[in-house]
Amino acid sequence: MTKEKGARSRRFEGGLAPDAVEVNSSVHFDYRLLPYDVAGSIAHSGMLAKQGIIPSEDAGTIKEGLLAVEKELSSGKLDWDPKLEDVHMNVEAHLSQRIGDAGRRLHTGRSRNDQVATDMRLYARDHALQLSELIDQLRLALVDLAAEHVDDFLPGYTHLQRAQPIRLGHHLLAYNEMLRRDKGRLLDARKRAGECPLGSGALAATTFPLDREMVAAELGFDGVTHNSLDAVGDRDFVVELIAAIALCQVHLSRLGEELVLWLSQEFQFATLGQSYCSGSSIMPQKVNPDLAELIRGKAGRVIGDWVTVMTVLKGLPMAYNKDLQESQEPLFDAVETLNGGLRVAIGMIQNLEFNTENTRNAVDKGYLVATEVADYLVSKGLPFRQGHDAAGALVAFAIKRGVELGQLSLEDFQSENALFEKDIFEWLDVARVVDRRDIVGGPAKNRILDEIERARTELSYLASL
């Protein structure tokens, strides 16, 4: 019986130097591929048996042995050996030790190059789905919170300056739209990872009569790759998935920034349960929104993961190069960072309470209804630019008087333009101001209710999970 030597064939007389082993080994991070490596090996061995390439009884023995090895490696009963370099060789070595020659036949017709390419696609596809579900859970939390605050108002901002009044529910639903797009990008990236590379070999396929379509179907792929050189060297799906993750993390960062602002003593728009805040080591009065700051900060980390992979790929010749090992850690890091960020964001939204009196009072300060003054004159037949100029003059007049527009007298309005009538005061009522914006995508109450219903219908599948 041949002694196991891992990835070092008899072509090499000695082992790697200790420092080289440390750099060369990937098992300390690619252990995450274990379930996908086992699934791919089971499918491959079953196909080998069906094609008559290995004895059919070996396929059953291999499957049983692989499942046992997976269980023992996962539980810690078996140790990972860095000298065996990676998850693939660790699994194969333990399998061969357990079942002998049947285990040594498993690698027939494949290379670690197409094996890792397959495992990484399986990982990417699986986690794209998991992240999509978490995104939908966050969306549902936002939709539920929006439904609670359909009748509450707050300032809408541009340039972080109070701009126009909106309903709080409309503001929250803006994040639902961002996240809905994020989900679409993740699923699109998943689709791009839908071709199975197994059977591409090291770079030039194999002489064995493999049934690649059988393996692809068993592993849940949509089809097979069509160029063996490209298949083993392709990590485009990693770039795309991390890019989608990075943009989603940026959206979480924007949400985190708004939470930081809303929770500040300057805004006092909301409070957050202490399970998502931290205290100060020196100032006992402080309640810091640390988790909101962290999901804001982690955007830089995930963007860095994307840059790392792009930089690794940019100068590589065909086909497989060991540099591609460096695409794994950024992928794992991006997936796990977003996973944690989404879970925290869900918890924060579910524990967020708004001070609706403060948000409403903020609407009444800062001349947020100035555009309505211009629109009023337009409704009376005045061109918009003239209405805009009149509204600006009235704002300047109100500032000098130290009052809001609604506190001016009818005479004050008419001194600027005779078209103003006493219905201007009803026109400037905040609820009426918002609800006149009654178009698809607008902040009118009935439009918000329509969007809540639409979103809940789309997310209704979560109730069955």
What is the H or E stretch that residue 231 is in? Answer: helix 228-233
Closest listed residue to residue 131, CA positions, set 246, 4, 294, 50: 246
pLDDT in tens, 400-419: 999 999 999 999 999 999 99
CATH number of the 21-108 domain = 1.10.275.10
pLDDT in tens, 346-358: 999 999 999 999 9
pLDDT in tens, 94-114: 999 999 999 999 999 999 999
Catalytic residue, from 56, 74, 264, 280: name it.
Answer: 280
Domain with CATH 1.10.40.30 in the chain: 362-464
Domain with CATH 1.10.275.10 in the chain: 21-108
pLDDT in tens, 180-226: 999 999 999 999 999 999 999 999 999 999 999 999 999 999 999 99
Band of the pLDDT at 8, cuts 50, 70, 90? Answer: low
CA distances from 331 to 10, 128, 251, 318, 438 (A): 33, 11, 19, 21, 44
Percent of the chain with pLDDT over 90: 91
pLDDT of residue 449: 98
pLDDT of residue 5: 46
End-to-end CA distance of the chain: 49
pLDDT in tens, 316-331: 999 999 999 999 999 9
| Cα–Cα distance, 197 to 114 (Å, whole number) | 6
226's tokens: 């069509």
Q: Could you tell me if 189 and 241 are in contact, meaning their C-beta atoms sit under 8 angstroms apart?
A: yes
pLDDT of residue 273: 85
DSSP secondary structure string, 1-59? -PPP-TT--TT-SSPPPHHHHHHH--HHHHGGGHHHHHHHHHHHHHHHHHTTSS-HHHH
Domain with CATH 1.20.200.10 in the chain: 113-361
| Cα–Cα distance, 30 to 85 (Å, whole number) | 10
Strand partners, 196: 224
Q: Could you tell me if 34 and 74 are in contact, meaning their C-beta atoms sit under 8 angstroms apart?
A: yes
Q: Which alpha helices (DSSP H) does 51-202 contain, by range?
A: 56-75, 87-99, 101-104, 112-148, 168-192
Catalytic residue, from 9, 75, 159, 275: name it.
Answer: 159
Q: Could you tell me if 170 and 443 are in contact, meaning their C-beta atoms sit under 8 angstroms apart?
A: yes
Handedness of CA 232, 237, 238, 240 (dihedral sign): positive
pLDDT of residue 1: 38
Q: What average pLDDT does the segment 372-383 reach?
A: 94
Give the CATH class of 362-464. Answer: mainly alpha
Say how many residues make up the chain.
465
Percent of the chain with pLDDT over 70: 96
Handedness of CA 93, 94, 97, 103 (dihedral sign): negative
Handedness of CA 292, 295, 300, 303 (dihedral sign): negative
| Cα–Cα distance, 161 to 61 (Å, whole number) | 69
> If 0-12 CB within 10 Å is exposed, 13-18 middle and 19+ buried, where does residue 248 land?
buried
pLDDT beyond 50 at 397 = yes
Instruction: Kindly report the average pLDDT of the chain as a whole number.
Output: 94
| Cα–Cα distance, 110 to 205 (Å, whole number) | 8
pLDDT beyond 80 at 10 = no
Amino acid at residue number 77: K
Handedness of CA 372, 377, 379, 382 (dihedral sign): negative
323's tokens: 């540099």
- Return the residue matching tokens 């059988």: 214
210's tokens: 């493999």
pLDDT beyond 80 at 4 = no
Is 75 one of the annotated active-site residues of the chain? Answer: no
Closest listed residue to residue 377, CA positions, set 404, 432, 414: 414
Q: What average pLDDT does the segment 249-269 reach?
A: 97
Give the CATH class of 113-361. Answer: mainly alpha
pLDDT beyond 60 at 3 = no
| Cα–Cα distance, 154 to 324 (Å, whole number) | 50
Band of the pLDDT at 24, cuts 50, 70, 90? Answer: confident
Band of the pLDDT at 435, cuts 50, 70, 90? Answer: very high
Is 44 one of the annotated active-site residues of the chain? Answer: no
